[in-house]
Amino acid sequence: MDDNIVAAGDIDPTTPIIVGVGQASERLDDPDYQRLGEADLAANSVRAAFADAGIDPTTLAEAIDVAVAVRSFERSSPMSKSPLGRPDNTPRAVAQRTGMAPRRAVEEVTGGQSPQHLVTEFGSEIAAGRTDAVVLFGAEVMSTVRAARKSDDRPDYSETVGGQLEDRGFGIAGLTSADEVRHGVMTPVAQYSLLENARRHRLGRSRAEYAAQMGTLFAPMSQIASTNPHSSTSRVYSPADLAVPSENNRRVCVPYTRRLISRDQVNQAAAVVMMSVGAARRAGIDPSRWVFVHGHADLREPPMMQRPDLSRAPSAVAAVHTALEMAGIGMSDVAALDLYSCFPIAVSNVADAFGLEPDDPRGLTATGGLPYFGGPGNNYSMHGIAEIVDRARRTPGSFGLVGANGGILSKYSVGVYSTTPAPWRVSTSDAVQRELDAVPTVPLTRYADGRAVIESFTVLNPDREDRAGSVIGRLHDGTRFIATADGDDLLDLLCGNEDPVGRTVYARSSADRNVVASTRAELDERHPRPTPGFADEYEHLIVERDGHVLEVTINRPDSRNAISPQTNAELDAVFEAYFADPDLWVAILTGAGEKAFSSGNDLAASAGSGGLSMPENGFAGLTARRRLPKPVIAAVNGFALGGGLEIALACHVIVADESATFGLPEVKVGLVAAAGGLVRLPRVLPPALARDMILTGRRLDAKEAHSHGLVSRVAARGEVMTAARGVAQEVLAASPAAVRASISTMASTDATADTVTAVRDSLAVLDEILVSQDTTEGIMAFVQKRPPQWTGR
């Protein structure tokens, strides 16, 4: 102890240190249960951290310059809600309760890595001299909220505090995707089970063997949790208690029972006080309370579906290596560990790499783990830090390590702690991250069709009638996709004792989702491909044919012809029928009335359907269609905004009414022009103008659009369909076979190739044209000086 105190006298005064840690908790069955809200429970943990520093709490509170709150689950996503209300500024609400008046208040992004990441971030801030006293804290009162919602006497935790707040947002981009959501893989338990099942297959374990291993890994944690006064449970479990399904331990999914996953129904809070050495000296904090950060790292994974190996997360392993290397020690030098343990694979991913066994005498958790101590949302690792700091003080000179996980093994932050004085070291995480990012990711297929093999899977509620399975698979070209498991045979396989990974399945796509079945016959029976054809009537369209011309009118004038999911489906079917009908050679698309061609996505209707119903062929069945083999003319009468402009851009020819207006206003409502606008507009317009429109929502009138080449012809007011029909007749005067071949060649030409190369490559079109009946007819008609009689063949 004396050596540490003497050495501390030589430390740079800007070196960051932890001087206080505190925890607070309450359980529904506690005799003194107070039904505290988030701000009150967090304040209790801050008071405990102030007291832990060993000086007058008022003095310490007055010294705090920055107050940082870990984001609670009630604020963790755009879909989160606060059923009992909450403060409008959590950091300052806690500050008011604890006597602080911080210059800066921060609310961190979502993720279980955030407590450790914040230690690293504000350690850097202190070392750089930008602040010298910071309090970090977080709290979850999910258990209280859940119970109180059922009560007639519901508390109101609403609070208007105001003041400066640096709200960093959710930070959840890449943690899930629209494809995962539409296939039922949107909860952590479903996402983690996909990774877990991939790991089990890689190790070659049977289901029983793997379940026993998960139980063996986690059972020692329950023993540690039983002695922790802040733990959500004091029960000690055997491996079988955890791994074997029972009436009180049901299978929530394959392969997890309830006792193997994080317990989020808790009331727990924790706080950490960081200061510079200079500030700690001025405050009179005894050096015996000082704990130094010897190593740190913050690394991340690609989105789950893009990872080369679903069974591994190398970023977590690299983060631990990086932090240990920075500290100048190895794993054998670490005396205490707290590895994030929301699900078994979060622990085994690191334990495998470092040879850590479940019965390691140090323990793999200092708290008792998320399933037993409790998993208070994003703030769990603040408790881990508090425990590791306490152990470092109890054994001066020893090292403790905290591994904090966020997302779906997506983000991993590590800290190495000791009372031994050490200078603050600059992060090397960026260099390591570049190495991780250099590894190629897996290409994805959003719409999967054909023979495939199962790469991993999950089944929610496997022992109930409402069981639901999802599969990650690989197509013959190696691309990865996600699909819903369809049919009892396949679900029985996924829930049974055999290993389904590597088994052949058959995939089929639709506007809403991909499905996989055990056999192609089963897929054809349950999900037959619709035969292209026109319906007798449409709800949102007027469809008319005039000889070889198809006219399609979006008939929703009251909503400015906005595209709803139903409109999308109808347009997709109509264009599927158009391209399949050999007697239709040209199509014209317009909008009903005079106000709009289309004002884009019907946000209200899309929100009502989850906003995810989009045909495989894109907006209006056109914007993502791989081939438009026959001409489509857009007759733009009025507004062509957002998706409306994107539809027009997908057409071969745009004819505009002189009153037409074109624009991509998505950014003004927090969206992006993802249905082709971001790609096609810069290829049609001068790049500077395209960027202006995309980034500001700037609109062009018909005259401007024509002058810049966005439209080919401008019609007098009210005459756009007449003009479009005239263009259609001009196209019909040409050879349909030559028109189709020209369209195909233009679409397939490599825009990046030099002109001569592109011309040479395009000569292949002659192979098709020279055997066309239309070519023979065109030459004969020219020689005989008569109009050609096209057949389209």
Catalytic residues, by residue number, are 646, 666
Which two tokens mark 239?
């491996």
Residues in CB range of 402: below 8 A, 6 or more apart: 116, 338, 381, 384, 385, 388, 414, 415, 417
* Widest distance between CA atoms in the chain: 111
DSSP letter, residue 559: G
DSSP letter, residue 445: -
- What is the distance, to the nearest Å, from the Cα of residue 636 to the centroid of all Cα atoms in its chain? 36
User: Could you tell me which residues are beta bridge partners of residue 471?
Assistant: 457, 483
CA distance 4 to 288: 8
Which two tokens mark 549?
């011309």
Angle at 727 between CA 722 and CA 728, to 5 degrees: 95
Which two tokens mark 490?
């396949």
Residue 79: Cβ within 10 Å count:
6
Dihedral angle at the C-alpha atoms of 304, 307, 313, 318, nearest 10 degrees? Answer: -130
CA distance 148 to 190: 28
Which two tokens mark 562?
């906005």
Q: Which of 570, 582, 619, 601 is nearest to 774 (CA)?
A: 582
Asked whether 324 and 354 are in contact (CB, 8 A), the reply is no
Which two tokens mark 337?
């560990």
> Coil, helix or strand for 551?
strand
Residues in CB range of 378: below 8 A, 6 or more apart: 70, 71, 72, 73, 76, 108, 110, 111, 112, 114, 115, 138, 406
Pairing, β 541-546 against β 549-554: antiparallel
Residue with tokens 């049977």: 206
Q: Which of 650, 677, 675, 676 is nearest to 664 (CA)?
A: 677
CA distance 617 to 572: 7
Asked whether 289 and 52 are in contact (CB, 8 A), the reply is yes
Residues in CB range of 574: below 8 A, 6 or more apart: 534, 538, 541, 543, 550, 552, 621
Answer positive or negative: Cα dihedral of 297, 189, 226, 19: positive
Asked whether 525 and 563 are in contact (CB, 8 A), the reply is no
Answer positive or negative: Cα dihedral of 281, 285, 288, 289: negative
Which two tokens mark 449?
């069709």
Asked whether 316 and 297 are in contact (CB, 8 A), the reply is no
SS (H, E, C) 606-662: HHHCCCCCCCCCCHHHCCCCCCCCCCEEEEECCEEECHHHHHHHHCCEEEEECCCEE
